[in-house]
Structure 1
Amino acid sequence: MALKNSVSFRSLFVKYILYFIFGTFMLFLFVFFGLDFILKANIVFPANYFEKKVEQNRYEITRAKKVTEVLVPEGCQYGVYSRRGRILYGNFKVREFQKVWRDFENNKVTSGRNRYYKFFYRSNEICIVRYPLRAQFTNLFLRKYFPDIENLLYILAFLIFITYVLLLSAKFGRYVSGEMNVLMKVTEKIKHHNLDFNPKHSRIYEIDRVINSLDDMKRALRDSLERQWNMESARKNQISSLAHDIKTPLTIIKGNAELMKESCSDYNVAEYNQHILKSAGEIERYLELLINMIKSEVSIAFNPVKINVKTFFEKLETQGKVISERKNIQFVGSKEKNVPEFFHGDEELLYRAIVNVISNAVEYSQEGGKINFKLGRKNSSISFSVEDSGRGFSKEELQLAGEQFYRGDSSRNSKNHYGMGLFIAKSFVRLHRGCIKLSNSKITGGALVILEIPFDEF
């Protein structure tokens, strides 16, 4: 449900356009009344100030024996010529005297931008005064460094205008960004599978509609996941119950077979009975594995503690040597010097994960082979690598190994390998935000499995 005071993007845009128009209008008033104020406050001379001053001194300029700078207002320049154009005196720059006389001969009353001439005919001379026709500061210092006050006001107004536009844009951007963050928070929570929350509403109508759609999707997804979880939980309970039910008649079959073995002396019957016992034992192992797998999926308690790296490694090394002895495999452990002294993790789960990988390495290695077990560090992760001397991984196994119940071709003949070792190890390592990398060793030619566990994430 949308907020009552939410606005559409169109209304929001019109609102800020009105802000822009209002700000521009106020800036125009500032320039107009600002110029009027500084004129009335005698901070600035009006544009025709010097023209009036020159005109007021016309009589003195035409009648004086010699034109001096006292008769010419400050800020104006003058030059006195003979009737034939010979330069007599004045304060024009040397290179300007001839140009001013040419302008006089051509009857030009202007000299460049905002500069004008007045001509005064004396007895045998001509005085030419050049004056500015623009507003100027009354203060000499300001007039020197800011001779064109109108352009100064335009530049100042332009800078204020640009600043206003930037501030208005930033305000608009922050407003929209803040409303978009509300939407982003909703998507982030859904992304991280947090489906039990009430989203905040946006003050922008279109964004609020998207949030409402995401909220509907979140509820539908949550309901779907709950149904799926309930179905999956029911399925696992059924499989677990069935596995336990199968164990009861299997125990009876196995018990009767053992009694027959003890009471029957016939060789053929004893041989058949041995097959029954062996197959029954395999079925028991299948059922036990199935039950453990279901338990591990339903609930895995994750209890991270501070683990001593040296002690943990020695424990794994000892277990690896025990597992390798049954196939007379050489188990070699090594530890790099730059590994941290401690790291945090669930010791029991990590122990089970690494032992599973070691067991797989023993299973695939031939008798008399070799397994290298190495503890190292890679950036901010601690790594455990297991390198065997078996046949290595095929391309298919590199892609699918670690999937539940997956077994490579060579493992299909093994009675003790059910494709669960790497799957369980992968599940436990993921709980530690780590990863498992599979490859083939360039040294032994066998499989290389590396388990990486971040030690600075907890």
Structure 2
Amino acid sequence: MAIRRSLPSLKVVFGTYFLTIIVACLLVSALVLLAFNRASDSGLLIPANQTEQRLLKQKQQLEQTSSFQARLLPKESHYVFLNKDGKVKKSNMSSKLEAAALRVSKGKEVDHNTYGYFMTIERQDGLLLVNYQLVSRYRLSWMNRYLPSAQVIVIIIFTLINLLIFILVTLYFARSLQRQLAPILTATGQIADQDLDFTVGSSNIKEFNQVLTSLDSMRVALRDSLMHSWQLEQEKQNQIAALTHDIKTPLTVIRGNTELLNSTSLSGQQQEFIQYSLKNIGQVETYLQQLSYLAKNSQLQDFHPEKIKVAAFLEELSQNSQALAARKDIKVQFFNDLSDNQLTAYWDKDLLKRALMNIISNAVEHSPKGGQLQLTCHLKDDLFHFTCLDSGQGFSREALEKATYQFFQDDTSRHNRNHSGLGLTIADNIIRLHEGSLNLSNDLKTAAGRVEVILPLTKI
């Protein structure tokens, strides 16, 4: 992977993000103020101090006219004119505002937020108090009636635009970061799928590129490790296959000579020894067949599922299990809860029969003579459940974890050594080919060994 030099770090990226927001907000503030000033210059907005400025211009005239003339006051102002005795002579104020004006005339302070501001004008015939507000107003009266004040509108516009800027800038930088993260997500996804023959991409951010470099190193190391493990597994399977083939030749010679010897005139004890030898030769041949099966790579080339009738399959399984258990006088109880005789499944009949018979054979082997075997079949959530419950001593804790491992023999609780430890391994492999699962447990009531197989009915 080619690494670009002098790339910006995340610190620079986030610094750019915040600087962009700040600059954009300052520009918007300047534009809003410019628009506010333009509105004031055009006459649409009346400045907040316009009334005060007009009063200051008219103050000298208001002081010197022979009689008080209200027309000289701005329309938006309110007044109260007191004679020399402090009595109200003229007023257009409300009673509340007038009371506040009287307090001002006596030198007292009032709340400007509530009552606004007062300008005191002394005349020869009395005292004039003019009330005004330092608030921007609209030139049109209906705008003053229905719209918020100009200051409030400026604050609202400023807030909304700044919020919009924050959202847009954040979305832009988020999408930019997503694009920079894409090579990392792609690499991790392909590694998770064990697709290790790919080229790791690059990013324009320093820290992301460091992560990508680490992922590329991990990809190479994992690929080499898996390749080495696969080569070791292939070598092991090839050795097993070769050894199996090599053993078959001398074993065939031994069987042939033993059968020839059996055809000669022998004593009863010699006949007994010959039969014992032939029996063990047959068992060795069975082990070799199982080893040959395991030497094949997951048996995918021999896996041929097809649509079969479940009822007929289970009937054949019941007959075979009865015959297998008869040699130890074991009673088989076969419970079939499947009511639909036309129910079909997409299974490899021969392979699956072999798997289930391995499970049943294992249960028979570890059940005492004259014991019983319970086989149960039922459907749950469109899945086929097969349970085999023997009457033996149950699985040890180690067996519950390792019983499906190759050559594992649970000598602690199920001590018969007359088996290779491959039965459950082969069964587990076949069931996995059918996208099913094999679970081992001990029965809660009897503590006997319990094996449950769960299989889908349709092709996955």
Range class of TM-score, shorter chain: 0.7 to 0.9
Structure 2 unmatched runs, 5+:
none
Q: Kindly provide the CA deviation profile for residues 145-164 of structure 1, in whole angstroms up to 9, marking residues without a partner as x.
A: 54532243134213322332
Following superposition, the deviation at residue 87 of structure 1 comes to 4.5
Q: Kindly provide the CA deviation profile for residues 331-375 of structure 1, in whole angstroms up to 9, marking residues without a partner as x.
A: 312225699955555555444333322222232233443333333
Alignment of 1:396-435 (within 5 A): 396-409=398-411, 410-415=413-418, 417-435=419-437
Does residue 442 of structure 1 match 2:407?
A: no
Provide TM-score, normalisation by structure 2: 0.85
Partner of 1:211: 212
Contact 1:429–1:453 (CA under 8 A) maintained in structure 2:
yes
Contact 1:2–1:208 (CA under 8 A) maintained in structure 2:
no
* In structure 2, distance between residues paired with 1:67 and 1:148: 30
Contact 2:100–2:110 (CA under 8 A) maintained in structure 1:
no
* In structure 2, distance between residues paired with 1:113 and 1:424: 92
* In structure 2, distance between residues paired with 1:456 and 1:48: 85
Following superposition, the deviation at residue 183 of structure 1 comes to 0.7
Question: What is the identity, as a one-letter code, of the residue corresponding to 2:394?
Answer: G
Contact 2:293–2:299 (CA under 8 A) maintained in structure 1:
no
* In structure 2, distance between residues paired with 1:61 and 1:144: 33
- Relative to structure 1, the CA distance from residue 265 to residue 108 in structure 2 (aligned partners, 3 Å threshold; closer, same or farther) is closer
* In structure 1, distance between residues paired with 2:90 and 2:315: 108
* In structure 2, distance between residues paired with 1:57 and 1:2: 80
* In structure 1, distance between residues paired with 2:324 and 2:311: 20
> More displaced, 118-127 or 29-38?
118-127
* In structure 1, distance between residues paired with 2:377 and 2:39: 82
* In structure 2, distance between residues paired with 1:98 and 1:253: 131
* In structure 2, distance between residues paired with 1:339 and 1:184: 50
Question: What is the identity, as a one-letter code, of the residue corresponding to 2:47?
Answer: P
* In structure 2, distance between residues paired with 1:270 and 1:259: 12
Alignment of 1:111-130 (within 5 A): 111-112=112-113, 115-121=116-122, 124-130=125-131
Q: State the secondary structure of the residue aligned to 1:106.
A: coil
Contact 1:339–1:376 (CA under 8 A) maintained in structure 2:
no
Question: What is the identity, as a one-letter code, of the residue corresponding to 1:37?
Answer: R
Q: State the secondary structure of the residue aligned to 1:118.
A: strand
Following superposition, the deviation at residue 273 of structure 1 comes to 3.2
* In structure 1, distance between residues paired with 2:79 and 2:341: 90
* In structure 2, distance between residues paired with 1:297 and 1:290: 12
Question: What is the identity, as a one-letter code, of the residue corresponding to 1:413?
Answer: N
Q: State the secondary structure of the residue aligned to 1:179.
A: helix
* In structure 2, distance between residues paired with 1:125 and 1:228: 110
Following superposition, the deviation at residue 389 of structure 1 comes to 2.7
Contact 1:365–1:389 (CA under 8 A) maintained in structure 2:
yes
Q: State the secondary structure of the residue aligned to 2:391.
A: coil
Partner of 2:373: 371
Instruction: Percent identity, please.
Output: 30
Partner of 1:41: 42
* In structure 1, distance between residues paired with 2:75 and 2:388: 96
Q: Kindly provide the CA deviation profile for residues 178-236 of structure 1, in whole angstroms up to 9, marking residues without a partner as x.
A: 32232122112212211122333333233233223322332332233223322321222
* In structure 1, distance between residues paired with 2:127 and 2:394: 111
Q: State the secondary structure of the residue aligned to 2:450.
A: strand
Partner of 1:96: 97
Q: State the secondary structure of the residue aligned to 1:234.
A: helix
Question: What is the identity, as a one-letter code, of the residue corresponding to 1:334?
Answer: N
* In structure 1, distance between residues paired with 2:133 and 2:427: 91
Following superposition, the deviation at residue 62 of structure 1 comes to 7.8
Partner of 2:257: 256
Q: State the secondary structure of the residue aligned to 1:130.
A: strand
- Relative to structure 1, the CA distance from residue 278 to residue 322 in structure 2 (aligned partners, 3 Å threshold; closer, same or farther) is closer
Question: What is the identity, as a one-letter code, of the residue corresponding to 2:401?
Answer: Q
Following superposition, the deviation at residue 29 of structure 1 comes to 1.7
* In structure 2, distance between residues paired with 1:382 and 1:12: 56
Partner of 1:144: 145
Contact 1:383–1:451 (CA under 8 A) maintained in structure 2:
yes
Q: Kindly provide the CA deviation profile for residues 28-49 of structure 1, in whole angstroms up to 9, marking residues without a partner as x.
A: 2212212112112222111222
* In structure 2, distance between residues paired with 1:276 and 1:25: 99
Structure 1 unmatched runs, 5+:
none
> More displaced, 210-219 or 26-35?
210-219
- Relative to structure 1, the CA distance from residue 27 to residue 289 in structure 2 (aligned partners, 3 Å threshold; closer, same or farther) is same
Provide TM-score, normalisation by structure 1: 0.85
Contact 1:2–1:205 (CA under 8 A) maintained in structure 2:
no
Q: State the secondary structure of the residue aligned to 1:112.
A: helix
Question: What is the identity, as a one-letter code, of the residue corresponding to 2:157?
Answer: L
Contact 1:339–1:377 (CA under 8 A) maintained in structure 2:
no
* In structure 2, distance between residues paired with 1:165 and 1:63: 59
Contact 1:389–1:446 (CA under 8 A) maintained in structure 2:
yes
Question: What is the identity, as a one-letter code, of the residue corresponding to 1:180?
Answer: L
Question: What is the identity, as a one-letter code, of the residue corresponding to 2:416?
Answer: N
Q: Kindly provide the CA deviation profile for residues 29-78 of structure 1, in whole angstroms up to 9, marking residues without a partner as x.
A: 2122121121122221112222234456654798597776x665444333
Partner of 1:31: 32
> More displaced, 111-120 or 386-395?
111-120
Question: What is the identity, as a one-letter code, of the residue corresponding to 1:391?
Answer: Q
Contact 1:199–1:211 (CA under 8 A) maintained in structure 2:
yes
* In structure 1, distance between residues paired with 2:96 and 2:193: 81
Partner of 1:359: 361
- Relative to structure 1, the CA distance from residue 438 to residue 208 in structure 2 (aligned partners, 3 Å threshold; closer, same or farther) is same
* In structure 2, distance between residues paired with 1:307 and 1:267: 49
Partner of 2:198: 197
CA-based RMSD: 3.5
Partner of 2:266: 265
Contact 2:321–2:332 (CA under 8 A) maintained in structure 1:
no
